[in-house]
Amino acid sequence: MSAALALLQQRHSVPSRQLGEPAPDEATVQALLEAAIRVPDHGKLVPFRLIRLDGEAKLRFGEQLAELAIRNSPELSEAKQEKERLRYTFAPLVLVVVARIDDASKVPAIEQTLCAGNVAYNILLGAYALGLGAQWLTGWAAYDREVASMLGLAAHEHVIGFVHLGTPQMDVPDRDRPALADLLSTWAP
């Protein structure tokens, strides 16, 4: 079996709370992202971009999310407020993968969105190949227009996910996977 296929068969996410220092160095991050953006892109639209959250920016982002969550739900418990505040602080680097949809293009919006999703998945694959841990998360913040505005997104942009990157702080067992036989059928005319 090829090393690439073995990588695909072993890849799994590491929960963001289990990711810590050391962060990948800048050369590794650049190489990872250069590889991650090599995705199928019908029409060569490049319907994606990336935003880095690291250092103090992660903490400030979490604080602003907590403020927004409290404004939207004043009854939010103290524990949930704290969860919002700290959500982005565990992994040393968080990458926001953004879809940029061109509604004027002949390429359907779903294909553009899937292209951006492939960038997020390539980050996961690349991180695993490099011995890093990663987790792709969304949550309410990925779908909230006020959060999009906070991130500087334009009206035609939306968050695909927040990819948390770092060094696994513990061994994480793989989860149960579906049986291929339950998912694969053969079409016959």
Q: In tens digits, what is the pLDDT along the chain, a chain of 189 residues?
A: 798 899 899 999 999 999 999 999 999 999 999 999 999 999 999 999 999 999 999 999 999 999 999 999 999 999 999 999 999 999 999 999 999 999 999 999 999 999 999 999 999 999 999 999 999 999 999 999 999 999 999 999 999 999 999 999 999 888 999 999 999 999 999
Alpha helices in the chain (DSSP H): 3-10, 26-36, 56-72, 78-86, 109-129, 145-150
Residue 128 within a domain: yes
161 neighbors 137 (Cβ within 8 angstroms): yes
pLDDT of residue 1: 75
pLDDT of residue 51: 98
Residue 189 within a domain: no
Residue 49 within a domain: yes
Residue 178 within a domain: no
Residue 41 within a domain: yes
Q: Could you give the CA distance from residue 158 to residue 149 in angstroms, rounded to a whole number? A: 10
Give the domain range for residue 70.
Answer: 14-167
**Angle CA 119–125–120, to nearest 5:** 25
Residue 18 within a domain: yes
Residue 3 within a domain: no
Q: Could you give the CA distance from residue 170 to residue 71 in angstroms, rounded to a whole number? A: 36
Domains held by the chain: number: 1
CATH number where 77 lies:
3.40.109.10
DSSP string, 75-107: T--HHHHHHHHHTTSSSSEEEEEEEE--TTSSS
Which CA distances in Å does 123 have to 67, 75, 103, 126, 185?
Answer: 30, 37, 26, 5, 30
Residue 176 within a domain: no
